[in-house]
Chains A and B, each alone.
Chain A
Amino acid sequence: MVNSQSELRSEPAPLPGQGLRPADGAAAEQATIGPRDLGRVNWRGLWTLYLREVKRFLNVFTQTIMAPMVTSLLFLAIFTLALGRGNLKFGEVPYAVFLAPGLIMMQIIQNAFANTSSSLLISKVQGNIVDVLMPPLSHFELALGFAGGGVTRGLTVGLAAGVAMAIFVPIGIHQPLAIVWYALNASVMLALLGMIGGIWAEKFDHIAAVTNFVIVPFSFLSGTFYSIERLPEGWLLVAHLNPFFYLIDGFRYGFLGHHDGNLLIGSLVVAGINAALCLLVVRMLARGYKLKP
Chain B
Amino acid sequence: MQPAGYSAPRRFGAVNGRGLWTLYRRAFLRFCKFAVEGTLGQVVSSALFLTVFTLALPERVETLGGVAPLVFLLPGIVAYQAFHAAFENAAFPVVYDKLEGMMGDVLMAPLKPWEIVVAYVGAATLAGLVTGTAILLLGALVVPLPLASLGLVLAFGALGCLLFALMGFLTGLWAEKWDRYAVVETFLVLPLGILSGTFFTLQAVPAVGRELMRFNPVFYAIDGVRAGFIGSAQAPAAVGLAVLALLCLALFALCWRLTAAGYKIRA
A contacts, CB < 8 Å to B: 60, 62-63, 66-67, 70-71, 74, 77-79, 81-85, 88, 95, 205, 208-209, 212-213, 216-217, 220-221, 224-226, 230-231
Contact = CB atoms under 8 A, between A and B. Distances in A.
Interface of B: 37, 40-41, 44-45, 48, 51-53, 55-58, 61, 64, 179, 182-183, 186-187, 190-191, 194-195, 198-200, 204-206
Contacts of B187: 67, 70
A88 to B, nearest CB: 6
B182 A70 contact: no
Contact of B183 (A62, A85, A221, A224): A62
A205 B38 CA distance: 10
A226 B55 contact: yes
Contacts of B56: 79, 83, 95, 225-226, 230
Nearest to B51: A221
B186 A71 contact: yes
Contacts of A230: 55-56
Nearest to B61: A84
Contacts of B57: 83
A95 B51 CA distance: 17
Nearest to A60: B179
B24 to A, nearest CB: 26
Given A81-B199, A83-B57, A225-B56, A216 B191 contact: no
A220 B37 contact: no
Given A66-B186, A83-B58, 20 more contacts: A62-B179, A62-B186, A63-B179, A67-B187, A74-B194, A78-B194, A78-B198, A79-B199, A81-B204, A82-B53, A82-B64, A83-B61, A84-B61, A84-B204, A85-B204, A212-B40, A212-B44, A213-B40, A220-B52, A230-B55
A216 B198 contact: no
A60 B204 CA distance: 36
Contacts of A83: 56-58, 61
A74 B41 contact: no
Contacts, number: 84
A88 B53 CA distance: 14
A217 B52 CA distance: 10
Nearest to B64: A82
A212 B52 CA distance: 16
A67 B182 contact: yes
B64 to A, nearest CB: 8
Contacts of B41: 208, 212-213
A221 B55 CA distance: 10
B52 to A, nearest CB: 5
A82 B200 contact: yes
Given A70-B187, A82-B200, A216 B55 contact: no
Contacts of A70: 186-187, 190-191
- From B37, B45, B64, B204, name the one whose CB has the most chain A CB atoms within 10 angstroms: B204
B191 A74 contact: yes
Contacts of B37: 205, 208-209
B66 to A, nearest CB: 15
B199 A88 contact: no
Nearest to B191: A74
13 contacts: A62-B186, A70-B186, A77-B195, A78-B195, A82-B53, A83-B58, A84-B61, A95-B56, A208-B37, A212-B40, A212-B44, A225-B52, A226-B56
